Chain A
Amino acid sequence: MIRKYTISIFTENFFGLLNRVTIIFTRRRINIESLTVSESEIKGVHRYTLVIKSEEERVKKLVKQIEKLVDVLKAFYYINEETVFQEIALYKVSTHALKEGRNFERLIREHHARMLTVESEFVVIEKTGHKEETQELLRELQPFGVLEFARSGRVAVSKPMKKLSSYLKEMEEEQLVSA
């Protein structure tokens, strides 16, 4: 069954590593729907969050190939239900929209969005949520004239309670075996 998978990859913070990771997808013709990279809860360990559409059998093999990379600490894959995830969207709208008064402000309130900045010519609205939600706000803002729209990749944390640090501890033990 083809569905969305979130892949979390924990890596060293080396330049070029992103390329090493993405060519694994390229070789298998898997399109990356979204990608974010940031430092994890452990200093020096970076976390990649990727979203792809694929089948579990393929994802499982893909994740093994990623974990095989020397500078990758661990890699996991999850279906949506196994994670808590969000995306952030920014909407740049002409200041004229404010003249619509209550309609515009209600829209923002109803969507749990917020006004990030108001400039003389434009306002920037920020909303976090799942793609469907940020997309819905985009659709509703269109009549006011959306000048720019940008949505981030997914950030996700997993529901299983095992900590990254305990995985790293296990790896250390395995390394002692092979040393």
Chain B
Amino acid sequence: METLTKTVGAELKMTQTMTGAEAVIQSLLAEDVDTVFGYPGGAIMPIYDALFDYQHFINHVLVRHEQGATHAAQGFARVSGKVGVCFATSGPGATNLITGLADAMIDSNPLVCITGQVASHLLGTDAFQETDVLGVSMAVTKWNCQVTKAEDIPGAIAKAFYIARSGRPGPVLIDITKDAQFGQLEFNYEPCGIIRSYVPKQKLDIEKAREAAELINNAKKPFLLVGQGVILSQAEQVVLNLVEKADIPFAWTLMGLSAMPTDHELNMGMLGMHGNYAPNIKTNECDVLIAVGMRFDDRVTGDVSKYARQAKVIHIEIDPAEIDKIIPADVPLLADAKEAVSILSELVLPNKHADWVDSFREMAAIEEEKIITKDLFPQKEGMTMGEVVRNVSQKLDGDGVLVTDVGQHQMAASRYFQFKRTRSNVTSGGLGTMGFALPAALGAKLGCPERDVVAVIGDGGFQMTLQELATIYQTKAAVKILVLNNNFLGMVRQWQQLFFDKRYSFTEMVNPDFVKVSEAYGIPALKVEGRENLDEGLKTMLETEGPFLLEVMVEKEDNVFPMVPTGASVSDIRLE
């Protein structure tokens, strides 16, 4: 077979004449890409034609919509730490990438998207499937560029990978005209390691680190916030060293979930709007707040004018634009989180804050009694999202990857899923993209095939990208799909109940038979309507080989609590 005679990487001669399209594939191989999510079309056909000869080196996943490609690539990147790669054609193919690019941008996911473009002589002529993709994607990419000459392809791809994964990661788009794909070049791949206008990491200011250590050493009530930056810089262990040495309670943001074990004795849970009671209240009681790799999203801070005003803030952050953007830092540490925290943990003195740590537990006990017990051991007939999530979490023993969509189920899952391993949480945090989970779970499964991947999705979000069931069927990826169905857009309904006089404007859904839908796609499925069948249903889902969909009917009008209402202070968090 011709496909097997292709040479890659080291076997390739120093330079070799090839088409631009083949150079795209060779460049990806030089970047160790083994998985691409994409969808062919007119303007990217030469690249797909070249790919045909490399099927044994690159697993191309044919999604059913380009948005699915981006979310799959995000899921892949999140669990593996690698760069996610997408292919799409010009025009509608490229515009369908936009939601995923925006999601990856705000959640700092490294992606390289390659779009085909009409031939360069047709640019600006309103040619068939021509869109100004550079212009359209500019606001939602870390960097983008257009290539119109075959010889510029390797350099552009090298730059794209370097930018996507370095510093604060982000999505990058390369638009390649059809004539550049057809053109010939002498292929020679040089990885990019420097761009003169771009400083991905700053040098840590050791004086500032000493200042920070001094603050921590003198703190009576220190509190540390774990953001996704901890995961991105692989700072999990050094953060643990720091908090254990100085006895600092910590909490994670939605994007920081799974960085440390859930059951670590200093882990006080999740911050923010639907986070845990103690960390929100204690934010406004601590004397030193150490924020690591997080950006003070409004869902974390609530009213910023009433956020941690009493505390000295140490902000450890790789992106200079995040310093002082929302919460002014008393001591900014502009650096890679791992580097900064490693040095900090050497500089701080061993310490004990037993009373302070206990005070979190007192608050946790209140939340346990008023909310958690009711969520996990409900006395009512209807099932809660919390009990379903906790059950599946226990069955996975903290080893699974949790992928969530957006809404009530996302918050319930983030609160009640228990983690033991880092990079085990994949969700749409900043953008809140409904429809994220199903394709992201597919990507996550391909990014870590040896792990269990469970996508927890609401009935609303599931229907936004359910065409990817076909992709899951075709790839046979063993994604476990757990649809928590309340026949409502639950989170919007909750807000309507609490803030709009129960005027349930267009939030009730009349849904199709999800089991039949799944089965139509060749994916076995089961519906659980009563608590007595839940355990068995979850077991079947996890034990069935390959993908499986489990629909669980949950209480129709449940609310997620605690809750920091929009515009309120974190210390005004409501328990009911």
Chain A residues packing against B (C-beta within 8 Å): 11-12, 14, 16, 19-20, 23, 27, 60-61, 64-65, 67-68, 70-73, 168, 171-175, 177-179
Given contacts A64-B320, A174-B202, A174-B203, contact A27 B139 (CB under 8 A): yes
A68 touches B203 (CB 8 A): no
A179 touches B320 (CB 8 A): no
Docked pose: A12 CA to B197 CA in angstroms: 8
B166 within 8 A of A: yes
* Across-interface contacts of A27 in B (CB, < 8 A): 139
* Across-interface contacts of B139 in A (CB, < 8 A): 23, 27
A171 touches B195 (CB 8 A): no
The smallest C-beta distance from B163 to any residue of chain A, in angstroms, reads: 6
The smallest C-beta distance from B532 to any residue of chain A, in angstroms, reads: 52
* Across-interface contacts of B146 in A (CB, < 8 A): 16
B134 within 8 A of A: yes
* Across-interface contacts of A71 in B (CB, < 8 A): 143, 197-198
Of A19, A27, A68, A73, most buried by chain B (CB within 10 Å of CB) is A68
* Across-interface contacts of B320 in A (CB, < 8 A): 64, 67-68
A70 touches B138 (CB 8 A): no
B163 touches A70 (CB 8 A): yes
B324 within 8 A of A: yes
A19 touches B203 (CB 8 A): no
Q: For the A-B complex with A12-B197, A23-B139, A67-B321 known, give 6 more contacts whose Cβ atoms are closer than 8 Å.
A: A16-B146, A60-B324, A65-B321, A68-B320, A71-B143, A179-B193
The smallest C-beta distance from B430 to any residue of chain A, in angstroms, reads: 15
A-B contact pairs, 30 of them (CB 8 A): A11-B197, A12-B197, A14-B145, A16-B144, A19-B138, A27-B139, A60-B324, A61-B324, A64-B320, A64-B321, A64-B323, A64-B325, A67-B320, A68-B320, A70-B163, A70-B197, A70-B198, A73-B196, A171-B197, A172-B196, A174-B203, A175-B194, A175-B198, A177-B201, A177-B202, A178-B166, A178-B167, A178-B199, A178-B201, A179-B194
Docked pose: A60 CA to B325 CA in angstroms: 9
* Across-interface contacts of A177 in B (CB, < 8 A): 201-203
A175 touches B196 (CB 8 A): yes
The smallest C-beta distance from A169 to any residue of chain B, in angstroms, reads: 11
Mostly, the A contact residues are: helix
The smallest C-beta distance from B327 to any residue of chain A, in angstroms, reads: 13
Closest Cβ neighbor of B320 among chain A residues: A64
* Across-interface contacts of B325 in A (CB, < 8 A): 61, 64
* Across-interface contacts of A60 in B (CB, < 8 A): 324
Closest Cβ neighbor of A16 among chain B residues: B134
* Across-interface contacts of A67 in B (CB, < 8 A): 320-321
Q: Mark B178-196, 1 if CB is under 8 A from A, else 0.
A: 0000000000000001111
Docked pose: A175 CA to B166 CA in angstroms: 11
The smallest C-beta distance from B431 to any residue of chain A, in angstroms, reads: 15
Question: Interface size of B by Cβ–Cβ distance < 8 Å?
Answer: 29
The smallest C-beta distance from B229 to any residue of chain A, in angstroms, reads: 15
A171 touches B321 (CB 8 A): no
* Across-interface contacts of A12 in B (CB, < 8 A): 197
* Across-interface contacts of A174 in B (CB, < 8 A): 199, 201-203
Docked pose: A71 CA to B324 CA in angstroms: 23
B142 within 8 A of A: yes
* Across-interface contacts of A14 in B (CB, < 8 A): 145
Q: Mark B322-346, 1 if CB is under 8 A from A, else 0.
A: 0111000000000000000000000
Docked pose: A177 CA to B145 CA in angstroms: 26
* Across-interface contacts of A64 in B (CB, < 8 A): 320-321, 323, 325
* Across-interface contacts of A178 in B (CB, < 8 A): 166-167, 199-202
A171 touches B142 (CB 8 A): no
Docked pose: A19 CA to B167 CA in angstroms: 23
The smallest C-beta distance from B496 to any residue of chain A, in angstroms, reads: 30
Closest Cβ neighbor of A57 among chain B residues: B324
Given contacts A16-B138, A23-B139, A64-B320, contact A72 B197 (CB under 8 A): yes
Of A12, A173, A178, most buried by chain B (CB within 10 Å of CB) is A178
Of B135, B319, B321, most buried by chain A (CB within 10 Å of CB) is B321
A175 touches B142 (CB 8 A): no
The smallest C-beta distance from B169 to any residue of chain A, in angstroms, reads: 13
The smallest C-beta distance from B284 to any residue of chain A, in angstroms, reads: 23
Docked pose: A27 CA to B2 CA in angstroms: 51
B319 touches A68 (CB 8 A): yes
Given contacts A70-B195, A179-B194, contact A20 B203 (CB under 8 A): no
Closest Cβ neighbor of B321 among chain A residues: A64
Docked pose: A14 CA to B156 CA in angstroms: 13
Docked pose: A14 CA to B203 CA in angstroms: 28
Beta-carbon contacts under 8 Å, B297-338 to A: 319-321, 323-325
Docked pose: A12 CA to B134 CA in angstroms: 17
* Across-interface contacts of A172 in B (CB, < 8 A): 196
